[in-house]
Amino acid sequence: MEEVMKDTFDQEVIQSDRPVVVDFWGPQCGPCLALMPAVEALAEKYGDRVKMVKLEAPKNRRLCLELKVLSLPTYLFYKDGKECHRLTGTVTIESIEESIKQMLGIRG
């Protein structure tokens, strides 16, 4: 999974020609670190249809405030350059995959 920063966010997320999932994480966030291997597996599974990137929240505080990301882990889902869904707080790998399927219009 590619790491994005404030200066690459627009190009990599907003201007992407594919739907994008942004994983907001922090090195002190236990749930973030616990989910990361499963999220990377989802990135491989859906890689041809969805772009998945990660953003280290402590290094991008201003961007997090602009996007109203106030707790970790948070996952933002973008389609056609606009946020279409958000998961925050108690996040499971199942809820992330379900959100990806919804974004792609996959049923079941």
What is the band of 108 on the pLDDT scale with cuts at 50, 70, 90? low
Amino acid at 26: G
What is the band of 36 on the pLDDT scale with cuts at 50, 70, 90? very high
So which residues are the catalytic ones? 29, 32
CATH number of the CATH domain containing 59: 3.40.30.10
Closest CA to 22 of 44, 39, 38, 46: 39
Closest CA to 47 of 73, 8, 21: 21
Q: How far apart are CA 76 and CA 61, in angstroms?
A: 16
Indicate the pTM of the whole model: 0.96
Query: What's the total number of domains in the chain?
Result: 1
Q: Write out the residue range of the structural domain in which residue 10 sits.
A: 2-104
Q: Tell me: pLDDT of 52 over 90.
A: yes
Asked if 50 contacts 21 with a C-beta cutoff of 8 angstroms, the reply is yes
**pLDDT tens-place string over residues 54-97:** 999 999 999 999 999 999 999 999 999 999 999 998 999 999 99
